[in-house]
Chains A and B, each alone.
Chain A
């Protein structure tokens, strides 16, 4: 371990951006020297600060004269592992940062083995997932990188035109709703072989709907949606007699519908009978839905 003037440190080469040590620790800790020794490579032509240059930068702003440094392990893999441990953001790097770290590792001949992968992405599969990320079209990669959609969803969007996915990524939707809508629209586009203009028009309609998720589902499952609409229409007829409810089994899987009536006075019984009589007229069509 040795001490190096901060001004000198700030002029050294820097490690990759995701290893900046950002945000730096509280000022008092920097002033008091309560920061780990910064790992450095003292090679030629210029020494480099592998990790923690934001700490050095902040120290300079605070007027701290010197910081402790320690030579990084000579073996590149061990040096990278040390820096990743000091950064301590396993699983919290953005996709761009993961990509940058992977390129840094690759540049130094460090394989993305299970340990390095774990230190970066929090799981052992970085090599595979990064491969998928890198093969995404630029628009999708940007959406993943910005957190608008997850990688798995991006990989499943198939032939959904970029225009449609860009519209959806810009729409005010929850992450979960956006993900579901994108997947459903991608399937509709594939099923109906929609061209770019038709896909964009469908996306516009979905986004403009009162309930975009329901609108996307109606496009993806038109026959199921038609069945649901039919039950709602029949229920509306019953409601003309009173506050009665008619429900299909979940997903129309089952044998029976549920008819619910609240009876508070004798007259309600007559209304329920009238509703059921009207329902009798729809019975064949209703039970044919199951």
Chain B
């Protein structure tokens, strides 16, 4: 085996996985063989499809490995009537047992095992095709939409292939997004190209909402290691919580921003996304946490968010904090937010941005600079 094995990750997998199913077409694939040896004595059972797994086994304690699914590359579904950041997703690990209280997957991945798409070739081919078809357009693509990109990656070691096989494409920014610190198997990967390791970050005070995720300190230490190894990182302050009043919220996020600035040089941050906590109506009964007692309002997309005025204030505060500690200011954007909030936070009309892919040509930085100078339209 060429990569170092993170024993924490393997211990976690052994502790949390009690059944291992694999389809015949995935048997023999190197990731499956690697996971099989690391999970011993757990033996994979061969099934024809997901439907063959007994319904009582379709839980997050079961891992189901298959070759690949129908559509290997898709635009991020975004949300109705809100700005989308033109991100593309590929499914690699679907489902996650970390247990974040706000996780939207609780509403649509019940009775489904953790699914691993062990053959990355079709997705890599699709990304290459799209990137080569539009060589002047930045293609941001990541594996963190339906699960944590790195939670089981030390076990299967599939991310390495995405990184190396996309490294020659200058317009592809491949992102592996995680709430773990299990990055060590990727440190020696070469070539890295534009690969980005993305870390969700939150205030220490929000740790109770992030289940078994690594602490912010451990994630930042991992960010430091990947930067030292030559990667850029992405940072996702998502979801941002109201942690007391605005001043208290600011203080919580200022603390984590300061630690981010200490850990990672700003010019190694590929982008920062911001999103306040939100949930679809279907999750309302699932989440029994104190933050749900705050004031939320249904937006045009049906999802519940903090009052517009309050989330705008949070965004502006966090943007100001980040601008004050990071030089140069990395590109920042809001995830699934309305035009109104965009304008109030960045002073920029998103409609006037020629294409959202242009965010990485500096459009968002300009918006940030306006806010920084205290200028606000409207």
A contact set with B: CB distance below 8 Å? 152, 156, 187, 190-191, 220-224, 227, 251-255, 287-290
Contact = CB atoms under 8 A, between A and B. Distances in A.
Given A251-B308, A253-B308, A253-B340, 19 more contacts: A152-B285, A187-B293, A190-B293, A191-B290, A191-B293, A223-B307, A223-B310, A224-B295, A224-B297, A227-B309, A251-B307, A252-B309, A253-B297, A253-B299, A253-B300, A254-B308, A255-B378, A287-B378, A290-B344
A204 to B, nearest CB: 22
B378 A252 contact: no
B338 interface: yes
Contacts of A253: 297, 299-300, 308, 338, 340
A174 to B, nearest CB: 21
A254 B340 contact: yes
Most buried by B among A251, A253, A255: A253
Contacts of B343: 255
A224 B308 CA distance: 10
Nearest to A192: B293
Contacts, number: 48
B229 interface: no
Interface in B362-378: 378
Nearest to A190: B293
Interface in B230-249: none
A255 B308 CA distance: 10
Contacts of A254: 308, 338, 340
Contacts of B210: none
Contacts of B307: 223-224, 227, 251-252
B308 A252 contact: yes
B295 A221 contact: yes
A150 B351 CA distance: 46
Contacts of B344: 290
Contacts of A190: 290, 293
A251 B298 contact: yes
B33 interface: no
B376 to A, nearest CB: 11
A252 B344 CA distance: 14
A233 B343 CA distance: 27
Contacts of B340: 253-255, 290
Interface in B295-317: 295, 297-300, 307-310
